[in-house]
Amino acid sequence: MYCPQVYTGKIEISGKLSASAINKRMVDGSLRLTSLGLDGDEQAETHFHGGPDRALCHYPREHYDFWKHQFPDQEDFFIAPAFGENISTTGLTEENICIGDIFSWGEAMIQVTQPRSPCYKLNCHSGISNFSAIMQESGRCGWLYRIIAAGNVSPDEPLVLVSRNSDVFVREAIAIAFNMPFDEEQYRRLMSAAGLSASWSLTMQKRVMFGKIEDFNRRLFGK
């Protein structure tokens, strides 16, 4: 059982980030979780964030120690929820979570759909011009959930794994999607993972169809 810290945020406008909801605040007490996420939480860049397959973002709290070590001059920045996550835990990482894993959380049921795809707003937010690319290469990306059953949730209620539906760990999905050379066999393996998000499935289908990996620059650098 893993009790989460929970965060939500509203869209804010700033010269640094334009429109963004990456600045999250900790939530105490019960709140409603629906198919589109937690009550009170918003997403600005909907091409990369939000929607039924990306309703919640989970980031392992232990990764922040790694980032502090990598960027000691900015260690004060690296504390949850610096990356705009909704859920922060210790003990759950990309190494032990699989695509398709289903957790109970309070009254709700949630399913892992894909790794987080780091985007360019992390660069502005962190003050590190290529941070999104560094996160992607590191494999410390976190992951996203769809909501299988809505309900009330709270930080006092643990995440409990109730079903494992594939053998593709999130760390493997990150490697296949972001860090390996073109490999049709691995793309087909990832597509076969029960619970994979529709957008990631489509991306892998396009790779197989066209025989090449898509350009990451718009997502990673905004251009």
- For residue 218, the surrounding DSSP H or E stretch is helix 217-221
pTM: 0.94
With a CB cutoff of 8 Å and minimum separation 6, the contacts of 134 are 70, 128
Q: What pLDDT, on a 0 to 100 scale, did the predictor assign at position 185?
A: 99
The CATH class of the 5-221 domain is mainly beta
Q: What pLDDT, on a 0 to 100 scale, did the predictor assign at position 23?
A: 85
Q: What pLDDT, on a 0 to 100 scale, did the predictor assign at position 191?
A: 99
Q: What pLDDT, on a 0 to 100 scale, did the predictor assign at position 42?
A: 79
For strand 56-60 and strand 87-89, is the pairing parallel, antiparallel, or unpaired? parallel
Cα distances from 114 to residues 25, 43, 64, 133, 154, in angstroms, run 24, 17, 21, 17, 23
Q: Residue 60: name the closest of 39, 45, 77, 82 by CA.
A: 82
Q: What pLDDT, on a 0 to 100 scale, did the predictor assign at position 60?
A: 99
Q: What pLDDT, on a 0 to 100 scale, did the predictor assign at position 50?
A: 74
* Distance, first Cα to last Cα, the chain: 41
Q: Which segments of the chain have a pLDDT < 70?
A: 13-19, 21, 44-49
SS3 63: helix
Q: What pLDDT, on a 0 to 100 scale, did the predictor assign at position 11?
A: 74
Domain-wise residue ranges, the chain: 5-221
Helix residue ranges per DSSP H, 97-141? 121-126, 131-138
Q: Residue 103: name the closest of 89, 83, 84, 118 by CA.
A: 89
Q: What pLDDT, on a 0 to 100 scale, did the predictor assign at position 27?
A: 96
**What confidence tens digit (pLDDT) does each residue in 120-135 have?**
999 999 999 999 999 9
